[in-house]
Structure 1
Amino acid sequence: MGIFNFFKSQFIEVIEWTDQSSNTMVYRFPVQNNEIKMGASLIVRESQVAIFVNEGEIADVFMPGNHVLYTQNMPVLTKLKSWKTGFNSPFKAEVYFVNTKQFIDQKWGTSNPIMMRDPEFGMIRLRGYGIYSYKVADPVVFLKELFGTNASYDTSNIESHLKKMILSGLTDLFAESQIPALDLAMHYDELSTEGKAKMQERFAQFGFEITSLYIENLSLPKEVEQAMDKRTTMGVLGDMNTYTQYQAAEAIREAARNEGGGMAATGAGIGAGAAIGNAMAGAFNANQQQPASPAPVESAKIACPHCQSQIRATAKFCPECGKTVQQKTVPCVNCKAEIKEGSKFCGDCGAKQVTEKKCETCGAINGPAAKFCGDCGEGLEG
């Protein structure tokens, strides 16, 4: 009886797969050393396709539903096994469940800037990032081209390749569109639609269908954006001479309002009156400028790290306590300039002294010298 039960346990009567993850694309049913009983139940759930493989050759494909396995509904495998009609013995075959649901929230981003020619700014470097989603549209092509004989396959196995395909297509699309940099934001939807259509043929080569593609952001380098902000500010101010004269008049009026005592108040009043006269004269003679008197130069002072006395910044020893004021320095993580040990920021480049940088957009961890995120391409704060 024990031997009979042993042989009976080797026959698989129910074949099914319940996906416990969100990114598994293919799962091979564990039938090694087991035989499938003819008449067994095959349960294929929605968003799944079951494929039988016999000795490396794809045989029958089953769509969602509850299937009872027998020779009549397995024509290809029946032919490969040379079974006669009504054959009822157990058999061995590999069963692969292919997940046909959409794999959403797949990220793409420019690891390196895209060089473009802009009609207004000339040569520019463009960065961007976004998301896309896709699904397995042709399971047979997918198994032949990508999966092979692995036990399982998930989105991480193909993520890098798909991201590079998308970046290649979008780079070509952005360059061909010839849309000025300042007008890119108003064409996100059109560029996303055209990018999706451009990717369909490339994805189909692997049995995939790209179901959506979105551009979340296209940006210029920070230096260019800062120059654009300054240019905008100048446009808002208008005539710079008039603006400078207005600012001078406002400053003089505020100085004249400060109340003082004795000769100080008298001197302030005389000085304010003279300054107002000069400002009014400058308003009528815009081409004449009054040279500013040079401010007295004072040597920079620092606090002694030992006794806190104010000493010259260039001093090597404190004149009060006699101890050295030279502190241990370390190189900046960004520009390599020597800075005080324990400093949080570099005095030369302003870079934050950290061992790693976290992207605020996608959360990816980057190296301390990185200026742009390696996943989404967004600029990193120093």
Structure 2
Amino acid sequence: MGLFSKEFSNVVEWQEYRDDVMFYKWNNDEIKKGSRLILRRGQDAIFFYNGKIEGIFKDEGSFDIESQIIPFLSTLKGFKFGFNSGVRVEVLFVNTKEFAIKWGTKNAVNIPMPQMNLPGGMPIRAFGTFACKIDDYGILMDKIAGIKQQFMVEDVKDRVIPMLDQLLMKWIASEGKDMFNLQANSFEISQGIKEDLDMEMRKIGIAITAFNISSFSYPEEIQRMQEKVAGQSMVGDVGRYRDVGLADAMSEGKGAGASAASDMVGLQMGMAMGQQMVNQMKEDANAEDVKETAQSPKFCPNCGFKTNGAKFCSNCGQKLV
């Protein structure tokens, strides 16, 4: 059969449009005379033959393949109707939109922490989103589209997730980030991971346009420790760890043990408050003495006798303050 046959014209289109499909390959034994190409919004059509791109069309609409498409194809425009060559033309429909994909570490990533002597490191999980889109049609054809009928968002995710463990370890550990406050550095970590991921995924024609870390998750023991430290910071400066520990014992204990802990907490708090009151009184007295000393003259303005900081002159009785 020729490139076109005179009967049974067909429509070249991607009719089953799904949000999770990145490209779909239309193929047939022949494109018949009178056939039309239909391009919808958000679609590009790539005509290729024997794995080589013949032309890329991006304008949405309905086009007559004989008069509007074939004349612009690099090789096939030389074919004449009725030319018996058995030519088979394929069309790759590309979803041009940007895809947002959720990600999460399958297993905890052990980040080395030599200063804490943790065997294997600190186990951390992370969650977030990344965005991607098809960027280079030539590389896409060479690496993926030549052997696949369609390519799904899940296929991209399957390639990205295995790389995240090493990238998280690289951008957390090697940069010396605060392991207990990673969320504060999440933007910088995300940007580093995005650059590395983008470099890898462009090898198959896909660009990573964004990468975000929504949250980091620590082991339960570490989370409890962080909560306790946060609680201690609210207690005050007097016996912080001791008082919080006693309060924990009081709330978790039962019977006589809980009562004893409660009494001890009350005693400790009373002593601390009393000591703070004494310290405040001393500070007030010292401040008053300094004020009075600063205001009293060294010599009596009436008789010139030395005052020694007194309120009245000991020689003539003159009031000094």
What range describes the TM-score normalised by the shorter chain of this pair?
A: 0.5 to 0.7
Question: What corresponds to 2:221 in structure 1?
Answer: 223
Question: What corresponds to 1:143 in structure 2?
Answer: 141
**Structure 2 SS opposite 1:182:** coil
Partners of 1:135 and 1:27 in 2: CA distance: 14
- Structure 1, unmatched stretches of 5+, are 1-5, 248-274, 285-382
Deviation at 1:77, TM superposition (A): 2.9
Question: What corresponds to 2:81 in structure 1?
Answer: 88
Question: What corresponds to 2:186 in structure 1?
Answer: 188
Q: Could you say if the C-alpha distance between residues 64 and 108 of structure 1 is closer, same or farther in structure 2, counting changes exceeding 3 Å?
A: farther
**Structure 2 SS opposite 1:130:** strand
Cα deviations by residue, 1:168-224 (Å, 9 ceiling, x for unpaired): 323211122211123322222222223222222111111001121110111221112
Question: What corresponds to 1:113 in structure 2?
Answer: 109
Output the TM-score relative to the length of structure 2: 0.63
Question: What corresponds to 1:334 in structure 2?
Answer: none
Question: What corresponds to 1:239 in structure 2?
Answer: 239
Deviation at 1:142, TM superposition (A): 1.3
Identity level (%): 21
Partners of 2:150 and 2:214 in 1: CA distance: 32
* Partner AA of 1:55 in structure 2: N
Partners of 2:122 and 2:96 in 1: CA distance: 41
* Partner AA of 1:128 in structure 2: A
- Structure 2, unmatched stretches of 5+, are 248-262, 273-321
Output the TM-score relative to the length of structure 1: 0.54
Cα deviations by residue, 1:351-380 (Å, 9 ceiling, x for unpaired): xxxxxxxxxxxxxxxxxxxxxxxxxxxxxx
Question: What corresponds to 1:72 in structure 2?
Answer: 71
Cα deviations by residue, 1:38-95 (Å, 9 ceiling, x for unpaired): 56432223322212232344332222334443442112333xxx53xxx234853111
User: Is 1:22 aligned to 2:19, yes or no?
Assistant: yes
**Structure 1 SS opposite 2:75:** helix
User: Is 1:59 aligned to 2:54, yes or no?
Assistant: yes
Deviation at 1:283, TM superposition (A): 6.2
User: Is 1:41 aligned to 2:36, yes or no?
Assistant: yes
Partners of 1:137 and 1:241 in 2: CA distance: 57
* Superposed CA RMSD: 3.5
Partners of 1:186 and 1:107 in 2: CA distance: 20
Give every structure 1 segment of 4 or more consecutive aligned residues whose post-TM-superposition deviation is greater than 4 Å. Answer: 118-123, 240-244
Q: Could you say if the C-alpha distance between residues 18 and 172 of structure 1 is closer, same or farther in structure 2, counting changes exceeding 3 Å?
A: same
* Partner AA of 2:50 in structure 1: E
Q: Aligned residues, how many?
A: 238
Partners of 2:183 and 2:35 in 1: CA distance: 57
Cα deviations by residue, 1:302-340 (Å, 9 ceiling, x for unpaired): xxxxxxxxxxxxxxxxxxxxxxxxxxxxxxxxxxxxxxx
Partners of 2:137 and 2:104 in 1: CA distance: 24
Q: For the Cα contact (< 8 Å) 2:48–2:55, is it kept in 1?
A: yes
Whichever of the two has the greater Rg, that structure is 2
**Structure 1 SS opposite 2:7:** helix
Partners of 1:109 and 1:26 in 2: CA distance: 27
Question: What corresponds to 1:363 in structure 2?
Answer: none
Partners of 2:147 and 2:21 in 1: CA distance: 15
